[in-house]
Amino acid sequence: MTGIDKLLRDIATEVHYTRDLIGRNAFDPRVMAAMAEVPRDAFVPADEQQYAFANGPLPIGWGQTISQPYIVALMTDLLGCGPQARVLEVGTGSGYQAAVLSRVVRQVYSVEIIPGLAEAAARRLAALGYTNIETRLGDGYLGWPEQAPFDGILVTAAAPRIPQPLVEQLGPKARLVIPVGEPHGRQELVVVEKGADGAVQTQPILPVAFVPLTRSATRSPPWGSDGDA
């Protein structure tokens, strides 16, 4: 059994165990095809290569992690985006989640606040030939307003509250998938859906554990009273 085969088997097993929480017995075949196509080992540091296809998070430096493959697949599936969608990712990290998204949507925009990660991910994605991913260094809390509205937004770090700028950048009938909660405290993966009339509904999915979403020091104080949901 290859590493990819084991990764896909482990994802399917975890879907089975969590099916009552996530409301599905299997992920979209397009999502699983993306998980099979994207080489996770290309996004994992050299000293973690032996664990590249394990179904768990791994450190990537700067206190950050590459997410568990099951969670990457789940968040991609929860977005529910079609092949012509334009998606924003907040928290590029190693670039792995962006690469997976790029196989199921038309265009990915990804924002990373840590310069070293942003630069390394941009080089890696270019070297691997991902031509439909645009990255930039910035405060992901603010989204990417110049490219809004988006057909989906995915956040790969936990926010204490849902950032209002991201909700505003959702297009009609679009979803925001985000872990919400405090560092080292209770966190839940939440789906925020904006209706055609602009009304917003939220749905908690399952408990998760993510690194915290950080703000730029040059911006307003982190998580101030600026209308977060």
The structure's pTM equals: 0.93
- Residue 160 covered by a domain: yes
What CATH number does the domain containing 197 carry?
Answer: 3.40.50.150
Assess if residue 169 is contained within a domain. yes
Q: Among the options 67, 94, 102, 110, which is catalytic?
A: 67
Number of H helices, E strands in the chain: 6, 9
**Domain with 72 in it:** 3-207
62-89 pLDDT, tens per residue? 999 999 999 999 999 999 999 999 999 9
Is it the case that residue 218 has pLDDT exceeding 70? no
The total number of structural domains in the chain stands at 1
In this predicted structure, what is the pLDDT of residue 19? 97
Asked whether the CA dihedral 181, 210, 54, 175 is positive or negative, the reply is positive
- Per-residue pLDDT band for 217 (boundaries 50, 70, 90) equals low
Render pLDDT for 116-168 as a digit per residue (tens, 0 to 9): 999 999 999 999 999 999 999 999 999 999 999 999 999 999 999 999 999 99
Domain membership of residue 25 (yes or no) is yes
**212 in a structural domain:** no
Q: Has residue 227 been placed in a domain?
A: no
User: Any catalytic annotation for residue 67?
Assistant: yes
Domain assignment present for residue 228? The answer is no
Percent of the chain with pLDDT over 90: 89
